[in-house]
Amino acid sequence: MSDETAKTTVTDVDRAREQKLLESSQQGDTKAYGQLVRAHQKRLFRFIMSLTGSFDVAEDIVQEAFVKGWQAIDRFRLGYDFYPWISTIARNLAFNHITREEKGQSLDTLKEAGFNPMSDDLGPLDTLLTAEGEKRFYQALMALPGPFRTVFVLRHYENMDYASIASYLKIPPGTVDSRLYRARQLLLKQLEDLL
């Protein structure tokens, strides 16, 4: 069996297992839903943390998203993946929070709380070479206007393609392209002395 076939088989098995957990959850099985939560909570937390810039807020939003997901699980359409559905709930909660207040914690405070932006688990976005560069990058990312930051995070942290981002945010693909371009330009301008 080739590596590619093995990956496909594992993915298919994981997807089939997730669908069974979703079916059980819809029948009121809280343990099955708990397994779904455990399977997706770290990824969802990284996504929301990247949007809000606040460790505590991200924790609260992720917890609230899973509670709302449980309350609406009977409306989930079986056959679809769980993560895009639950991440949409969390993203909407994060957007609501961001519009209410634009405050965030410093990167030093986040590190004290246990967040490690240098972790390999953050996704494909390459980490900057120095601690100062890392801190400056996250400050610049958090300074981006919400719509630009969201598209940037979805593309670089969630590895979503342009069409998926457009569908997820319910905006035209051209808007995704222009927001991503603008986000990169703003980040480059903020970090030009480091580059």
Domain definitions of the chain by residue range: 1-115, 121-195
CA distance 54 to 59: 9
Residue 152 has pLDDT above 80, yes or no: yes
Candidates 191, 20, 45, 174; CA nearest to 117 is 45
Q: Which of 150 and 114 is assigned the larger pLDDT?
A: 150
Are 136 and 190 a contacting pair, CB within 8 Å? Answer: yes
DSSP 149: H
CA distance 181 to 187: 10
Q: Mean per-residue pLDDT for 177-184?
A: 90
Residue 114 has pLDDT above 60, yes or no: no
CA distance 82 to 77: 9
At residue 131's C-alpha, the angle toward residues 59 and 195, to 5°, is 115
- CA 86 to chain centroid, in Å, comes to 10
Residue 130 has pLDDT above 80, yes or no: no
Q: Tell me the pLDDT tens digit for each residue of 84-107.
A: 899 989 988 988 887 665 444 444
**For 1-115, CATH number?**
1.10.1740.10
The alpha helices in the chain, defined as continuous H runs, are 3-26, 30-52, 55-71, 82-100, 107-112, 131-143, 146-156, 162-169, 173-191
Are 26 and 73 a contacting pair, CB within 8 Å? Answer: yes
pTM for the full predicted model: 0.58
- CA 153 to chain centroid, in Å, comes to 7
> CATH second-level architecture of 121-195?
Orthogonal Bundle (1.10)
Collapsing DSSP to helix, strand or coil, 167 comes out as helix
DSSP 126: P
CA distance 64 to 77: 20
